[in-house]
Amino acid sequence: MHSSYGGLNVPSNLSPRKKKTEETPSELEEKAVAEKKTTRKRTTRKKTESKKPEENQEAVKTPSRQMAEEKDAVEILSKEDPGDSKAENSVTKEPGKESIPSDVREIPRKEREKDKDKDKDKDNIREVEIDISQLQTMPIREVYKLARKYDVQGYTQMAKKDLIFAVLKAQTESYGYFFDQGVLEITDGGYGFLRTLDNNLLPSSNDIYVSQSQIRRFNLTSGDTVAGQVRPPKEGEKYFALLRIEAINHKAINFAAERITFQNLTPIHPEDKLITETESHIMSTRMVDLFSPIGKGQRGLIVSPPKAGKTILLKELANGIAENHPDTVRIILLIDERPEEVTDLRRSSNAHVIAAPFDMHPEKQIRVAEMTIEMAKRLVEFNYDVVILLDSITRLARAYNLYVPPSGKLLSGGVDPSALYKPKYFFGAARNIEEGGSLTIIATALVETGSKMDEVIFEEFKGTGNMELILSRQLANKRMFPSINLTLSGTRREELLLPSDILRKVWVLRRMLSSMSEEEGLRLIMDKLRGTATNEEFLDLIEMEKKSY
């Protein structure tokens, strides 16, 4: 049907106005159900549209994030092997995702670990290019090249031992660290400090701290001479700290694990003679070589009254041993001595001078002596020949007598018997070692001082040595130096030290001197020595004169 509207024929259903009709209850119910379905579809469509951007965003971001993390690894692979980089970098792409080969993913982690290790190495100590064991076996010309490389001054005039440590020091300083050495003293806490000879092995603020772990790891003991790389104290610390050990007792660090302790070494009689003769005008050392020869491992006493020249004799013996046996370690230990004597010996003797003057407390004097003997023992364990010249054993016993707790027993002169144990322990350490190395101790003992204590101490040590050199007050008063009593001086088992032909000539000399007075005998020997350049010429001259009679 059509209706007329504005002159136009329009279908009845499209007419602009339609009369409203009432809906039945069933129609209203159907309409409500349809609206619910429509609302549910719209809500589902909104949720779906809101999820799609997020999924697409993750699909875009995930490969880019992975590639950013592994970009460095791909560059490293391409640099290491350019030919294979294309094959390794060919990646199969999936929709919305890029896959990375598993081996490429591992590279960044490994490279980052290497970078971390490098950063740690920068903070820790650098590895030394050449250690002491390599330097000791290296020809001297190669060591010279290293000395030139590190700009070591005066290396051509150095002994190889000193040159090695100069190279190690220069090498360490080139890395920005210090190189130092000292004698280890382990405390009750298990850690230790390196004491210096310049401070007479006593504690100071410049000592170097050694950790307990380093002591256990390298089997260190009190008295070991330790050298290595050192760092300055950090904030809140008081001492320098040892970072890396380069040498123990002037040898490679692996020797410490193989050494035999001093108490387990086998002592034997001295067999190798220490030659002390140097220049022809130095009479004292020439007389000692003939009448009281010193062997490696000798335990000798120089019995001397005051002002008899014992200190000068020790200096000449030290210089004589240094000239004829430069490989030995020579130590002059001065206990309760005058400070000016200490200065003189340090300037004029070729030995390490360790001193505890008379103005030092007895406890410190004892500490100096004990550190010295422990240092010597550790060197002997490493097969060194060590010579200690002690002045004097009498004053060391005096210090112990003042320091040790009283035992309730007294010898004549006020000497506590327990005060003599440690000095005997010191003096008894001298011995020749069958496994190698030796410890020689030549100590002075004071007599005729007017002190009953000194007489008791001398009597306790008399007979403990295997060599005695007697100085005479009568000869010293007449200004006859060296004031040696040639008749009373001598060495036990001297046949082990002197060749048979020289020993026979020395016995002839002794027979001649036995019929002379002390002064006549010394004058005769000194006159003959002045006319000859060496002891061999002197003995030949004596034998010729005997045949002419």
Query: How many whole angstroms separate alpha carbon 211 and alpha carbon 6?
Result: 114
The string of pLDDT tens digits covering residues 87-97 is 333 344 444 44
Query: How many whole angstroms separate alpha carbon 112 and alpha carbon 46?
Result: 46
pTM for the model stands at 0.73
Domain ranges of the chain: 128-168, 177-258, 267-548
- Out of 12-16, 112-116, 498-502, 513-517, which region has the weakest mean confidence (pLDDT)? 12-16
* 299, 427 Cβ separation under 8 angstroms: yes
Q: Which residues are paired to 300 by β-bridges?
A: 442, 467
Tokens encoding 509: 């000399």
The string of pLDDT tens digits covering residues 365-405 is 999 999 999 999 999 999 999 999 999 899 999 999 999 98
Q: Is the peptide bond before 392 cis (omega within 30 degrees of 0)?
A: yes
Tell me the pLDDT of the chain averaged across its residues.
81
Q: By percentage, how much of the chain surpasses pLDDT 90? A: 56
Distance of CA 244 to the CA centre of its chain: 9
Q: Is the pLDDT of residue 5 over 50?
A: no
Residue 206 has a pLDDT of: 86
Residue 37 has a pLDDT of: 61
Q: What number is the average pLDDT over the span 256-270?
A: 94
Residue 549 has a pLDDT of: 54
Query: How many whole angstroms separate alpha carbon 321 and alpha carbon 275?
Result: 6
For domain 128-168, is the CATH number 1.10.720? yes
DSSP codes of every residue in 321-370:
HHHH-TTSEEEEEEES--HHHHHHHHHH-SSEEEEE-TTS-HHHHHHHHH
65: confidence class by pLDDT, cuts 50, 70, 90: very low
Nearest to 284 by CA among 269, 302, 305, 307: 302
Instruction: Please give the CATH superfamily to which domain 267-548 belongs.
Output: P-loop containing nucleotide triphosphate hydrolases (3.40.50.300)
Cα-Cα end-to-end distance for the chain: 183
492: confidence class by pLDDT, cuts 50, 70, 90: very high
* 480, 517 Cβ separation under 8 angstroms: no
CATH of domain 177-258: 2.40.50.140
1: confidence class by pLDDT, cuts 50, 70, 90: very low
* Residue written as token pair 């190698």: 436
Nearest to 186 by CA among 161, 217, 211: 211
Query: How many whole angstroms separate alpha carbon 503 and alpha carbon 489?
Result: 15
